[in-house]
Structure 1
C-alpha cells in the first residue's frame, strides 16, 4: 500500500512540475539583464565589489541577470512602486554555483546561505536581493544592512522603529503581489514562484554579459 501511495505521489509531483514548466516558453527562461527590461531599477551588485560580508570581489561584472519571467515580474513591481514615488535597488540576482561554494565556506548556515550541494535559488536565476528607494534613489530605512546574519534581519523581528516596519511591509507586500516568496530570515531576499523547476547554473557573469 505504501509503495502504491509513493508511486502516486511521485506521479503527481512529475505532472505538477511539467504543468508549471509548460507555463513558460523557452524565451521566458533565458537569463536577461534586468536593466534591459527596466533601466529604472537601480543595480548595485554587492558581490561585484569588496563591500560585502566576504570583503572580496566575487563577480567580474556588476550586472543583475534573472530568468526572463522573473525579470518581467520585477518590472511590474517597479512600475507599481513608481506610482507612489518609490522604486527598487537590487543587490544580487543570478549567482554562479562557484560563488555559492565560496559563500558557504564562510557561512555554512542554511538560514542565510544555501548549501551548494542543493543549490541556491540565486543559482537558478530565480531569486533577487533588493531594497526600496525613494524617487531620488535614496535607500529607505530597513531593519539591517544587506547580509546581516542576525535575528534583526528576520521578518518576524519587530523591535524596530515603526517606519522601518512599514517599509519592510511595503516591500514584502508588493513583491508577494507579483509572485515572489519572501525568505523568513532575510528581509531583502525573495524567490520567484516555480524556482524549483529550474536547473542550477554556473555560468560566469562575464560570459552572460557578452550576449
Structure 2
C-alpha cells in the first residue's frame, strides 16, 4: 500500500498502482469494469493484513526479520566477535592527503541533538557497541553540517544525529554479524568505511517545536528496500521530509548513500585515513 497526494494505491499481487477509494464503510478497487473489495485487518489499531477479493496479504517487517536473524543463532556471540574485531589491524593504505581534524558536532552544529543508538541497545545488533555516546566529523564536514542546520531552522527542523565518525573495529563487527544477503547495508572492512574516515554522517530531522523526530519512509538502520533513498512508498509527508534533508545536505557538499536515506558522505572523504580511535579517546580531546 502506498499513499500519494492523499490517495491510497495498491501495488503488487497482480495489481499495479491501482487507486483505492472508499465505498461506504469499505474500500474498493475498480478493475475490469467491476469493483473489487479491499479490507484492512487491524489489531490494536495497527494494520496487520489487507484482503483483496478474498486473498489475504500479511504485513511483513522485512527489516525486523533481518535484525532477528542477526540477534539470534550463531551470530549472537557478540563478546567473541568484539574481541576478534579489536585484535585485527585496519587495512594498510597510502598516506592520506588530509590530516585528521575530527570535531565534536555538539560544539559546532546549532540545534543539534544526538541519538547514538550504537551506544545503547536499540540498534540492529541489540547490544552497545560504543563505550560512550558522541558524534564527530572532520572539520570541513562539521562546518558544512552547521550550514545545513541553519538552513533547516526556518522550516522548523533541527538535525538529529545517529552516527558520525565510527571506529574501524565497529565496522568489522557490523560485517561479521550481518548476513551476506544484507551486506549492501554495511561497509566492507577490507576497504574501510567512510564513517571510519570521519566524513560520513547518519541523521534525520526533529521538530524544534516539541523535540520529536519526524516520520520517514523507514526506521533508521532498517535493512529493507524501504531504506533506499528513492523508495517510492510511505506517505507524501514522509517522502517530503526525506527529500528536504537530502536537498539541504547536497547543497553543502554531501551525497546520499543510495541504499540508506539517512547516510550522507562529505566530498573528499577518500582523502582521509581510516581511524580506529574509540569514542572515549575522542571525547577526552574536548574539541
TM class by shorter chain equals: 0.7 to 0.9
SS of alignment partner, residue 261 of structure 2: coil
Q: Secondary structure at the match of 2:160?
A: strand
Aligned counterpart, 1:8: none
Give TM-score, length-normalised by structure 2.
0.63
Write the distance in 2 (CA, Å) between the matches of 1:104 and 1:57.
16
CA RMSD between the two structures? 1.7
In structure 2, distance between residues paired with 1:192 and 1:150 = 24
Deviation readout 1:96-150 (Å, 9 max, x if unpaired): 0011110111124442100000000000000000001111221111011111000
Higher Cα Rg: structure 1 or 2? 2
In 1, Cα distance between the equivalents of 2:119 and 2:110? 19
> How far 1:38 sits from its partner (Å)?
2.4
- Distance, in Å, in 2 between the alignment partners of 1:95 and 1:157 is 26
Match for 1:43 among 91, 96, 114? 114
Structure 2 residue 153 is matched with structure 1 residue 79:
no
Corresponding residue pairs, total: 188
Q: Which residue of 1 aligns with 2:164?
A: 93
Give the drift of 1:61: 1.1
- Offset at residue 39 of structure 1 (A): 5.0
Is contact 2:194–2:269 with CA below 8 Å preserved after alignment? Answer: yes
Unaligned runs of 5+ in 2: 1-96
User: Any gaps of 5 or more consecutive residues in structure 1?
Assistant: 1-20
Q: 183-192 vs 158-167, which deviates more?
A: 158-167
- Write out aligned runs for 1:190-209 (5 A): 190-209=264-283
- Counterpart CA distance in 2 for 1:156 and 1:94 is 25
Candidates 20, 23, 30, aligned match of 2:101 = 30
> Hey, what does 1:62 align to over in structure 2?
133
**Would you say the 8 A contact 2:110–2:150 is kept in 1?**
no
Partner of 2:202: 129
In structure 2, distance between residues paired with 1:85 and 1:40: 11
Q: Encode CA deviations 1:9-53: one digit per residue, 9 max, x unaligned.
A: xxxxxxxxxxxx5xx7x5xx4111101112520011110101100
Q: Which runs of 4+ in 1 moved over 2 A?
A: none
| CA–CA distance in structure 1, aligned partners of residues 172 and 184 of structure 2 | 15
1:45-71 deviation line (CA, Å, top 9, x unaligned): 110101100001010110001111111
TM-score by length of 1: 0.85
